[in-house]
Structure 1
Amino acid sequence: MPATLPSLSDGTPARGVRAWRRPAAPAAPFPEAAFAPEALGARFQFVRELGRGGMGVVVLARDLELHRVVALKLQHPLMALDARARERFRREARIQAQLDHPGIVAVHGAGEVWLEGRALPWFAMAYVAGESLADRMQREGTLPHDEARRILLALLDALQHAHAAGVVHRDLKPENVLLARDGRVLLTDFGVAARPSHDDPRRSSADAGTPLWMAPEQFAGEHAIDGRTDLYALGALGFAMLAGRPPFQGPSARAIAVARLTTDAPTLAEWAPRAPRALTETLQRCLARDPAARWA
């Protein structure tokens, strides 16, 4: 993909398009005891919950040792019972900590706290005051062309850094893009990231990612992924920002997978007719079913 996207002439969002609505994430039960003053040990003081998923919860906390607020990610106690799940959680922290880039959320430290007699892994990240791209898209539907372009360029720069380090994110989606109040765009959540040159070649990609944004090769369960897998997701994000909907939708992950594996992506120029042609063509190439047809 080129280092820069085409310049934009019109920032007017497309009309007559229903706003994209992110799917509701199941709220995993998380023991309230984890938020008690003594649960996070002497170092952290719980402030409020920021978000949760099936793997754990992210909370805003005060780091009393370093005198700053952090986004503290805690693994779910049930997940922490499994040694492989604990190692995946620690691996996420290590990978993200090694990616020193202004467009990737920094990791400040990792460790364990004790909850109900068991070790609960955590890692602390820089707290980004603002909102996620999912929040912005849910509120506004489509984004002005110049704003979409700015976000895409920032993500492209962060992804280029990760790819140069041998890391493929594999789960680029609106929820994992943070829009800071000061204008920065940051990529986070490397929980299913892959390092193709290091990982077990038998490891499947089918269980990694989010169906609305996954590349066809992820659905096929092929291990042969590389940076072009993330470029597909980047194209899907660009499509959604300009058109107000992801390129593929369906009643189930299976339906989305079948459509993505057997049909080409919809033509973005038809969904966002006011968008500059060079921009829609750039994103359309990201959405090619065959990785070889995408940007190198």
Structure 2
Amino acid sequence: MAPEPEAGGGVSDAADSWGDNGLVGGMVGDGRYRMTHRLGRGGMAEVFAAEDVRLGRIVAVKLLRADLAEDPVSKARFTREAQSVAGLNHHAVVAVYDSGEDTVNGQTVPYIVMELVEGRTIRDLLVSAEAPPPEQALIIVSGVLEALAYSHQHGIVHRDIKPANVIITDTGAVKVMDFG
């Protein structure tokens, strides 16, 4: 999982609600997921790498931002994302493993536990390098279209497809994320 980068992401300081000091080393999911470091933040959430202590694997944990955690509309939207994407099982869609609510710094906050994908977003590739050659661009677009076709067959519309929500894994696979 590679959310929008922290620097230059256009997100206000209010979005930096949990920060590294607030959660790193902390637990969510009734003590199942131990936060190791923040991966990034987006418009509604912050994403942390975490250890699933029960299964011994590294995952990504997405937490609704603290400033939105008390907003019923934001909480409902976040929860809908978890429920809808959890039903998708496709190689080009970032997998959702778990979701729920937990108390974080005294607030009840929804969370989503997802596959941690090692790689770079299309946004990262476009900002830091030359555009991919046409052959690679076609492979990327094909992977995105495959993921979207699959989600549409299951009644789910992405609504925010953009370079920051498509990751190319270290092995070259295409993964679509952030169906919020």
TM-score grouping bracket, smaller chain normalisation: 0.7 to 0.9
Q: Kindly, what percent of the aligned residue pairs are identical?
A: 35
1:147 alignment partner, one of 136, 139, 144: 136
Letter in 2 for 1:65: R
SS where residue 43 of structure 2 aligns? coil
Whether the 8 Å contact between 2:17 and 2:67 is mirrored in structure 1 is no
Whether the 8 Å contact between 1:110 and 1:123 is mirrored in structure 2 is yes
Structure with a larger share of its residues in strand: 2
Q: CA deviation at 1:95?
A: 1.1
1:31 alignment partner, one of 6, 11, 18: 18
The CA distance in 1 between the partners of 2:26 and 2:118, in whole Å, is 26
> Is structure 2 residue 160 aligned with structure 1 residue 171?
yes
Whether the 8 Å contact between 1:132 and 1:178 is mirrored in structure 2 is yes
> Is structure 2 residue 100 aligned with structure 1 residue 106?
no
TM-score by length of 1: 0.54
* Counterpart mapping for 1:95-134 below 5 A: 95-134=84-123
Whether the 8 Å contact between 2:102 and 2:110 is mirrored in structure 1 is yes
Letter in 2 for 1:37: G
The CA distance in 2 between the partners of 1:80 and 1:47, in whole Å, is 21
CA RMSD of aligned residues (A): 1.6
Whether the 8 Å contact between 2:40 and 2:46 is mirrored in structure 1 is yes
Deviation sequence 1:133-170 (CA, Å, 0-9, x none): 11111112321000001101111111111111122211
Whether the 8 Å contact between 1:103 and 1:154 is mirrored in structure 2 is yes
Whether the 8 Å contact between 1:39 and 1:113 is mirrored in structure 2 is no
1:63 alignment partner, one of 31, 52, 55: 52
- The structure 1 segments of at least 4 consecutive aligned residues displaced by more than 4 Å after TM superposition are none
Q: CA deviation at 1:80?
A: 1.2
What residue is the counterpart of 2:78 in the other structure? 89
Structure 2 unaligned spans of 5+: 1-7
Whether the 8 Å contact between 2:16 and 2:41 is mirrored in structure 1 is no
Structure 1 unaligned spans of 5+: 1-22, 192-296
The CA distance in 2 between the partners of 1:24 and 1:90, in whole Å, is 24
